[in-house]
Chains A and B, each alone.
Chain A
């Protein structure tokens, strides 16, 4: 497949959140403030991009030649966890406010299934390095885009009159559902 096709498909029609339903936890958790959403999006993008390159190299030059593809899952999780730690250290040092407001969701990027999902898709679809990077970039930008739109919508909705039983997460889930309908039809 063409690089640009992969990029646009993963950005819109096969969006990580709205059509593959990955990474819902941080999607709902960090969409309360604009700043949090952008901080989360950028951290996820950083982690995914670097882990994509590293896992590709490790898979091609260490795991496949030594006939140990059964170690793929644990090795990828190791790489992701390591880079989440590094991101956390950098944010803790240089962006203290963001570190406080992201709270538990920052170390939880480790278990964000979107990150692992993107990396696993790269390996399973036999993408080469450039295709993998374009897939990772498209998926992450899709993640940031949807997260950002969703945050703006949530901020607007929360100022309105809503039924008491729909306040908070229920109305957010309905909004996410409508967004998924729209994104699925954007072909």
Chain B
């Protein structure tokens, strides 16, 4: 009986470990794709980062970079999303 309980406990610990690792490794990727969706998607390059993908990466590093995007009207939306 103790063996079965300890087995369940081990399984539980591993499950938590994998979930935490998954969140740690891929949280940035999720944010990046969300940010890319919010950006206009013209890939105009007027921000200086080449494309909207580069812009999304720059925003993740520094919030203020969002003001360099000229076509984007609703800048508050992105700032709000990052603030959460």
Contact = CB atoms under 8 A, between A and B. Distances in A.
Interface of A: 58, 62-63, 66-68, 70-71, 74-75, 78-79, 82, 85-86, 89-90, 93
Contacts of A68: 2-4, 6-7
A74 B7 contact: yes
Interface in B14-45: 14, 17-18, 21-22, 25-26
Given A66-B3, A68-B4, A86-B21, 12 more contacts: A63-B3, A66-B2, A67-B3, A68-B7, A71-B4, A74-B7, A75-B7, A79-B10, A79-B14, A82-B18, A89-B26, A90-B25
Contacts of A79: 10, 14
Interface of B: 2-4, 6-7, 10-11, 14, 17-18, 21-22, 25-26
B18 A86 contact: yes
Contact of A89 (B4, B10, B22): B22
B10 A58 contact: yes
A121 B40 CA distance: 59
B17 A82 contact: yes
Contacts of A74: 7
A75 B9 CA distance: 11
